[in-house]
Amino acid sequence: MVLHNRDVAEIFEKIAGILEFKGANQFRIRAYQNAARTIGNLSRNVSDLIAEDKDLTQYSGIGKDLAQKIQEIVETGKLKFYDELQTSIPEELNRIMGIPGLGAKKVKAIYDQLHIDNIDDLKKAAHQKQIRDLKGFGPKTEQNIIEGIEEVKEGQKRIKLAIAEEYARPLMAYLKKDKNVKSIDLAGSYRRQAETIGDLDMLAVCKNREAMMKRFAAYEEVQRVVSQGKTRSTVILHSGLQVDLRVVSQKSFGSAMHYFTGSKAHNIAVRKIALKMNLKINEYGIFKGKKYIAGKTEKGIYRTLKMAYVEPELRENQGEIKAAQKGKLPKLITWDDMQGDLHTHTNATDGHDSLERMVEAAKKQGYQYIANTDHSRHLSVANGLDKKRLLKQIKQIDALNKKEKNFTILKGVELDILEDGTLDLPDNILKQLDIVAAAVHYKFTLSEKQQTERIIKAMDNPHVNIIAHPTGRLINQRKPYAVDMQRILKAAKDRGCVMELNAHPDRLDLNAIYCKAAREMGVKIAISTDSHSVDGLALMRYGIGQARRGWLEANDVINTHSVRSVKTLLKRA
């Protein structure tokens, strides 16, 4: 069984959760959390690194002890320390800690004060409104727990796009090695770059269908073959992810890609257009009566229906049909448009790498600039910068910039928005920065009115030019805080503020709907990685996918511009 980065990171995350529940040293807890994040952001599979006898301690946050534990997981599929740790707490508490919206601290409070150690009792207590009165909870948290329990009880939840990619890429590489394969691609929500994926859909054209299906079923990560036929097979991987492979003819490949890419709503809308033209469209092609008209390519499908080609990310029946008919689809942003990253962290706070290393990695990405935006002092868990330390960092950046010829380091900070909307650092230091990315990092349970006014008040400060991860969500972990995004966007437009699209696959915040709304209102977006390591800079691709889902063009995004233009765009009128 091949271990993926996600598998190793998940074990470390669970260890951190159990240690936190048991009240262990915070530095020890954070070591596992940081290691999980480092592994999750690695550009290469950790199993390959170990097979090549690479020194894992070269990666930030991975010491000798953790490197040995990673090797044990990869080589044996388990970790003795983790197995022993699991037995030190009631068995079902591990499942409770996996409920979205609950972390180790909250589970500990529930366990200590209500003596709850299983999901059934937790659900009963939530419905009886016993949880809301605990310190740090409330009616909203209680409702989130109820909804989270239902998600867990429903079984396998949708996984994040980045996790799906860890399984999709090696499977695709494995199948492509077969000379029998003429063409193969992924369809479904994965191809549409959806935030979460339920399963993987694969389509292939090959010479020998039976041989293809046998190779698919023999993949080393297959735990169970659900069905195996001549044109379709379904398997379940060891991770629990379902994969469907369909083999189609060359002349139907485009039509099948269109059909299985979806979305369902988009396909229904396209089908209605075909019917009005007295045509029939399905996964085999477009037909007039029994006569085959088109289907070899997706572009041919849209062309036959007198529409411009609709990129997969737009296929959600959110206006793309009419735009395609009128030839008014956006020219979607691509990776090649990006000129820099405007939200990164170094080991001065909770990042893993030095500023110098982050700069070198950004250059290798082909960027013109990078913004250093370490945390401000209020986020003590991240060792946030106070005024004195930030001033020292400003001087460090000025010195480095003097040495650079064709690259610029922008001076910035990720600044906490305090509960009352005031800011974590004084204006006399903020005015010395190129970028102030203000963010909410605590008090997520304020009312919608309070949270909205809190953020708008922060934007009233003329030094704030970006609102970072504007809804605070963590996909499958924490819901967005209550906020009136229409008011936020209007306030940003009025004040000349930029909204961030945080590219980290745990966040993807703003979502696609809000990205489109921002574009329609003329609010500029910054796509940034929130990178905490050199490997994290590669997460930009997820931000690009989300931006494309949100109809964004290059000109809608400020960091597609030169460093001079970016500085101008960041200046408040």
Calpha distance 435→420 (Å, rounded): 22
- Residue 155 pLDDT > 70: no
Share of the chain above pLDDT 70, in %: 98
Average pLDDT over the chain, rounded to an integer: 92
Residue 154 has pLDDT above 60, yes or no: no
Between the ranges 238-242, 325-329, 569-573, where is the mean pLDDT highest?
325-329
Cα 462 to Cα 386, 470, 564: the distances in Å are 20, 18, 20
Residue 42: per-residue pLDDT? 81
Residue 370 has pLDDT above 60, yes or no: yes
Per-residue pLDDT at 32? 92
* Tens digits of residue pLDDT in 498-513: 999 999 999 999 999 9
**The pLDDT of residue 500:** 98
Give the whole-angstrom CA distance, residue 93 versus residue 84: 15
What radius of gyration, in Å, describes the C-alpha atoms of the chain? 25
Helix, strand, coil shares of the chain, percent, nearest 5, are 45, 15, 35
Ranges in the chain annotated CATH 3.30.210.10: 252-326
State the pLDDT confidence band at 194, using cuts at 50, 70 and 90. very high
Please give the average per-residue pLDDT across 116-141, as a whole number.
87
161 DSSP 8-state letter:
H
The pLDDT score that the predictor gives to residue 150 is 78
- Detail the DSSP E strand segments found in 351-425: 369-372, 408-416
Q: What is the pLDDT of residues 434-445, one digit of tens each?
A: 999 999 999 998
> What pLDDT does residue 1 have?
61
Residue whose tokens read 């195996």: 228
Looking at the chain, the domain(s) classified CATH 3.20.20.140 span 335-570
Rounded distance, CA 250 to CA 295, Å?
A: 9
pLDDT of residue 98: 79
Q: What is the pLDDT of residues 372-429, one digit of tens each?
A: 999 999 987 778 999 999 999 999 999 999 999 899 999 999 999 999 999 999 999 9
Residue ranges of the chain assigned to CATH 1.10.150.110:
5-153
Domain 159-247 has CATH 3.40.50.300: no
In CATH terms, 252-326 corresponds, of 3.30.210.10, 3.20.20.140, 3.40.50.1100, 3.30.70.2190, to: 3.30.210.10
List, in sequence order, every residue forming a beta bridge with 242; answer none if it has no partner.
236
Dihedral sign for Cα atoms in the order 191, 192, 194, 198? negative
How confident is the model over 313-332, as pLDDT tens digits?
Answer: 999 999 999 999 999 999 99
Q: What is the pLDDT of residue 148?
A: 80
Taking the C-alpha atoms of residue 232 and residue 229, their distance in angstroms, rounded to an integer, is 5
Q: How confident is the model at residue 220 (pLDDT cuts 50, 70, 90)?
A: very high
Predicted confidence at residue 142, as pLDDT, reads: 85
CATH superfamily of the 335-570 domain: Metal-dependent hydrolases (3.20.20.140)
When pLDDT is cut at 50, 70 and 90, the band that residue 60 belongs to is confident
Least confident interval from 58-67, 206-215, 294-303, 371-380:
58-67
**Confidence at residue 510, expressed as pLDDT on a 0 to 100 scale:** 95
Domain 5-153 has CATH 1.10.150.110: yes
Q: What is the pLDDT of residue 44?
A: 82
